[in-house]
Structure 1
Amino acid sequence: MALNIKALPANHGDCFVIEDTSDGYILVVDCGLKITYQNHLRKIVQKADTLILTHIDEDHILGAIPLIESIPESFKLGDIYFNSPELLKYKVSSGNISVRQAKQIDQLLLDKGINCLGLISEQNLNLTSNLKLHIISPRNCDLLELNKSKFDEDSKSANISSNNSFNNVMELSKQKDSYLSISSDLVNACSIAFILNYKDKKMLYLADAHPEIIADYIESLGYNEKNKLIVDIVKLSHHGSYKNISDRLVSFISCDTFWISTNGGKSRSKHPGPSTLAKLATKVDRNKNCVLTFLFNYSIEEIESRNGCLMTCEDKQTYKVVLKEQNEVVWL
């Protein structure tokens, strides 16, 4: 009996497969791009008891199109949770904010007779006797604002390029927070983020969520700088973007392992941001562990060859940080 958590290669996107081996229950969170499904997802699972599409960015939902098209011949689907255009009546757009593709998913689900459900903060999903999710975001007020939004044909998701100038960890950690306002980053602010509970283990899964929405909710649960939320893993928001982290959020968390899903990004979008790693290396409570570990589902060498050094060997030694290529975690 164990929980297997896999971060599949999804290029610059996300696709996580979580299996409770006690009964074979499979939770899939996001589907990356179409090639993510074709080259990876369909080769390791042929069903999802629950599928969560966290938000409408292309690098999270495009892989769901061939997945749904293959139902029921090649893939079996139970419940799907997606704050979709059909639920929220988004306007049509193109670009990285993939409303058109999300509408295609809506139509496919309708054609297949599959009901789609939404998720908002404070909901609980009891998936198995040991596997439970507590939903942190989106807030209903942000979904309402998203519903009012008017995407045009040139809509793009917020730029998440990493800070290009590289300094040492201490200098980077002192940089002011750079997160966008919620109103200017509404699609990501409406990401489905959650606390995953398995037996005595916890994972904070942040999708592309806004750091202050997460911090507000964690604080509402009674956590703060003195009484921190203790988790075993944090799946960092927006592939480790420096625009999706805040000092306040970091101060509320106690964790020694942070997971980053990315191949380094695409075009001018580069991730993770070195300042994200620096803030965590210097400021996060490590829950009594002296070593802080960053897990990557792609080659660190390839990411650094594209984007530059993430952290010097001297800083890794000074701050006891390990950068590790690992795409699977098993909890017993």
Structure 2
Amino acid sequence: MRTRPAITLDVLPASYGDALLLRCPVGRGTWTMLMDTGPDETWPALRRRLLLLPKRRDGTRWIDLLVISHIDHDHIGSVAKMLDDRELALTFGDVWFNAPPNLPRPRSAVEGAALARLLGSGRPGLPWNRAWSGQPVVTPAIGGGVQMGGKGLPTLTVLSPSPDRLTRLWPAWATELAKVARREAEAAAKAGPPAPDAALPQDLATLAARRSANDASLPNGSSIAFLLEHRGASVLLAADAVPGTLEPALRALLDRRGVARLAVDAVKLSHHASRANVTAALLAMLDSPNAIVSTDNKQFRHPDDEALARVITARSGQPLTLWFNHDTPRNRRWDAADLKAAHGHRTVYPAGPGVGVTVSLAGR
């Protein structure tokens, strides 16, 4: 009998954003989580995938947990269409999303504020931070970590955000929402044919060692990020979490578990493999054979070469596999035969346009 994977992760084609569908076998059924919805252009692909979820007897489709990691459009952009789609008829066991306890007035159509008001409306099948008694999804402190789960269910260890990151965001909530919208509009207006990318150097160690400033974005700092473990398999879902939160949280987790490095089956690289988020210090605490890159390079030209050079050169033990949910010229550079021969990594790309990739993680 063929054994079902302990974790199946569909990395949907989310343009320059994230849309991740995770499934874990639980008893005779399946525990399902959707993490982020990508920007609005992701919606057709996301909808096609969600329509494949089985209907229950009442005609609804059930998702145990919806996580909207933070307010950036590339993570939240399709959520309104998804929740308004009557054919999908989605219902949720819980929805994790952080917003200020007292939303600023006047009413706003900006995505983060609109979602917060919808969640607060009491709409059936749309609970808000139920597992947190309606309070924000947060670690106890910098270097904290909250472990959640239940008998037979996946275990989620929340590593970001820390309370101070939300404290910094709340006073600037309205300003940051407007800034997100303005930044996206400006980037779209400037978008044109991308310049050809230079070939990657053979010396990835020098590239990896380049210094870069850490991400200081308030919205990214508020990202919900966690380690998901089930039946011996594990995946680190980093959203756009910043090193200033994720590094101390991982260090504390290593101390609690008494290990030097966290062995994890896969890592969804933070901020679409930005050099400001994927640091050498972070990677030194991880040991993973799979690194997932979610981006088609639009808007901000991720992944950064320095970030992926750090991922490849930090790997010890069995070969590394880089997973890309979009097959683009910039992403394809990491598939160069001479580069793979020199560093021993593998690459996986979608089988066709608009399908993304599926990462299956076996249990132990």
- TM-score normalised to structure 2 length: 0.77
Task: Note the aligned Cα RMSD (angstroms).
Answer: 3.1
Report whether the alignment pairs 1:251 with 2:262.
Answer: no
Instruction: Provide the rounded CA distance (Å) in 2 between the counterparts of 1:214 and 1:176.
Output: 19
The one-letter code of the counterpart of 2:51 is: K
Mapped pair 1:44 → 2:52: yes
CA shift in 2, pair 1:65/1:75, >3 Å: same
2:128 to 116, 119, 125: 116
Q: Which moved more, 1:193-202 or 1:65-74?
A: 65-74
Offset, 1:276: 1.0
- Do residues 100 (structure 1) and 132 (structure 2) align? no
Q: Aligned match of 1:30 in 21, 32, 36?
A: 36
Deviations 1:138-163 (A, max 9, x none): 001110111122616445569999xx
Seen in structure 2, the aligned counterparts of structure 1 residues 21 and 201 have a Cα distance that, compared at 3 Å, is closer
Instruction: Give the deviation of 1:321 after TM superposition.
Output: 1.5
Structure 1 pair 324–88 and aligned structure 2 pair: CA distance change class (3 A): farther
1:4 aligns with 2:12: no
Distance 1:90 1:238, change over 3 A: farther
Distance 1:274 1:228 in 2: 24
**Contact residue 210 and residue 244 of structure 1 kept, 8 A:** yes
Q: Give how far 1:131 is off.
A: 1.1
One-letter amino acid matched to 1:19? R
Distance 1:136 1:93, change over 3 A: farther
CA-to-aligned-CA distance 1:288-326 (integer Å, 9 cap, x gap)? 21x111001111xx242xx78347432221111112115
The equivalences for 1:245-324 within 5 A come to 245-266=278-299, 269-284=300-315, 286=316, 288-289=317-318, 291-299=319-327, 302-304=328-330, 309-310=333-334, 312-324=336-348
Q: Which amino acid letter does the alignment assign opposite residue 80 of structure 2?
A: I
TM-superposed deviation, 1:72: 8.6
Identity of aligned residues (%): 22
Aligned with 1:124: secondary structure? strand
Q: Is the CA contact 2:8–2:360 (under 8 Å) kept in the aligned structure 1?
A: yes
Gaps of 5+ in 1: none
Counterpart in the other structure of 2:156? 133
2:132 is matched with: none
Within a 5 Å distance, the mapping from 1:56-67 to structure 2 comes to 56-67=71-82
Between 1:35-44 and 1:274-283, the stretch displaced more is: 35-44
CA distance in structure 1 between the partners assigned to 2:36 and 2:128 by the alignment: 14
Residue type at the aligned position of 1:244: N
Q: Secondary structure at the match of 2:110?
A: helix
CA contact (8 A) 1:292 1:321 kept: yes
CA distance in 2, matches of 1:68, 1:19: 20
Q: Secondary structure at the match of 1:221?
A: helix
1:13 Cα offset (Å): 0.8
Cα 1:275–1:90 change in 2 (3 A) is farther
2:169 aligned residue: 146
| 1:51–1:77 contact (8 Å) kept in structure 2 | yes
* Higher normalized contact order (CA 8 Å, seq sep 6+, divided by chain length): 2
Q: Residue 298 of structure 1 aligns to which amino acid in structure 2?
A: H
Deviation of 1:273 (Å):
0.9
Q: Which amino acid aligns with 1:37?
A: W
Deviations 1:8-48 (A, max 9, x none): 11111111111123412211111112343333333333331
Match of 1:206 in 2: 238
Matched length: 313
Rate the CA distance shift 1:91–1:232 in 2: closer, same or farther, 3 A.
farther
Q: Distance in 1 between matches of 2:171 and 2:31?
A: 37
Secondary structure class of the residue paired with 1:178 = coil
Contact 1:51 1:79 in 2 (8 A): yes
Structure 2: runs of 5+ lacking an equivalent: 54-60, 130-135, 140-144, 188-193, 351-356
Q: Which amino acid aligns with 1:195?
A: L
Once the two structures are overlaid, the 10-residue window that deviates more, 213-222 or 310-319, is 310-319
